[in-house]
A and B are shown apart, each in its own frame.
Chain A
Amino acid sequence: ELKQSYEQAIESLVPQISIKDEDTGDVEILNSELLHSEDVTHKLENCGYSIGIRLSEVLIYKDSQNEILKNLELLNIMKFICRDVWRELYGKQMDNLRTNHRGTFVLIDNAFKTFQRFDSPVDLQDTIYKCKPYLWISSGIIRGVLKSFGVDSLITPEITKFPMVSFNIQTNV
């Protein structure tokens, strides 16, 4: 019930289409003041989430003998994300995994692949500002993969030192 009312609340916040028509699919979109608006963030995160759920299925189907999957402890699921998911998506593993052993994890990628070619003509700060929405997709993917293992989570992505990114993950386990 709580979830439903939450979703309704989000739904009512989300204007039907908040992006100007002429900006669709154009780089101008990056100058839109809506770039960091809640509904854009929410939609991107949701796209990631649905990718994550499906990707998880594909990966497990492709490699059902995966050692990691023989023991579905939370830490192992995180390792699955760091190793298998990340390698599949970005051709490299996550560089660092930290945990407080009480359900909070921090995953760090020292050179986030999506940002490889990103560079604003203005300055680094502008690059970082415009990169942020792309991070929500990956963040959503992680949430989706976790969900496919039955783990609910809250994820805060951060660009710590461009192109280094971190994902702060709080789980309910």
Chain B
Amino acid sequence: MNKGIKASSDDIWKNRVDKVNAELFTLTYGSVVAQLVRDFKNDYQKVNQQLEKMGYNIGIRLVEDFLAKTGTGRCQSFKDTAEVVSKVGFKVFLNVTPQVTNWTSDGKTFSLILDENPLAEFVELPDDERAKKELWYSNVLTGVLKGALEMVQLEVDVNFVSDVLRGDDRTELRLQLIRFLKDEMPAGED
């Protein structure tokens, strides 16, 4: 099954995705983060929150594009979801495939290891120690994952636990399944 996923997402990436210049993307994200840091006067907690919120609003709409491009069906288990997030989601939007690993025994929590992170190319955090301790530079990703998964009835908790920009060995995102959401009618419809 995995091979099939990989081949088809390679194909989608090659033929069905509009590309934007990688440097423009990276530098634009960088200038957004820098602007937020200025706006919030170096309150990095708030910057993290804001990035997550921006990501969330991207995620809830991005999932439609995702479904339209990939035609992915319903996942049978959270394990499937993890595979699809990594091998299809990250692949078609960022052209990277994070490793899925560190499952807890209840099968509800796993990690994504980002060996490559297109958002963080050319990036160095400022020397002040606080930024390295408090800022999750790529935090927009946590929001995107949360928003996108919520739209397919999965409430998840997403956090960065380490980031090479902070001097850690690797960049790791932790995803925890909170619950399956019920299909709900849009407000105002019977």
Contact = CB atoms under 8 A, between A and B. Distances in A.
A152 B66 CA distance: 43
Interface of B is mostly: helix
A98 interface: no
A24 interface: yes
Contacts, number: 50
A51 B24 contact: yes
Contacts of A26: 57
Contact of A89 (B24, B54, B56): B24
Interface stretch (A42-50, A65-73, A123-131, A161-169): A42-50
A135 interface: no
A25 B57 contact: yes
Contacts of B56: 25
Interface string A15-51: 0110001001111000000000000000100111011
How many chain B residues sit at the interface, stated as a range, is: 20 to 34
A50 B57 contact: no
Interface in B18-68: 21, 23-24, 27-28, 30-32, 34-35, 39-41, 50, 53-58, 61
A137 interface: yes
Contacts of A91: 21
Contact of A50 (B34, B55, B61): B34
B158 to A, nearest CB: 16
Contacts of B34: 50
How many chain A residues sit at the interface, stated as a range, is: 20 to 34
Given A46-B35, A47-B35, A55 B24 contact: yes
Given A43-B35, A47-B28, A55 B57 contact: no
Interface of A: 16-17, 21, 24-27, 43, 46-48, 50-51, 54-55, 58, 88-91, 137
Interface of B: 21, 23-24, 27-28, 30-32, 34-35, 39-41, 50, 53-58, 61, 122
13 contacts: A17-B39, A25-B57, A27-B61, A47-B35, A48-B31, A51-B27, A51-B28, A54-B27, A55-B23, A58-B122, A88-B23, A89-B21, A89-B24
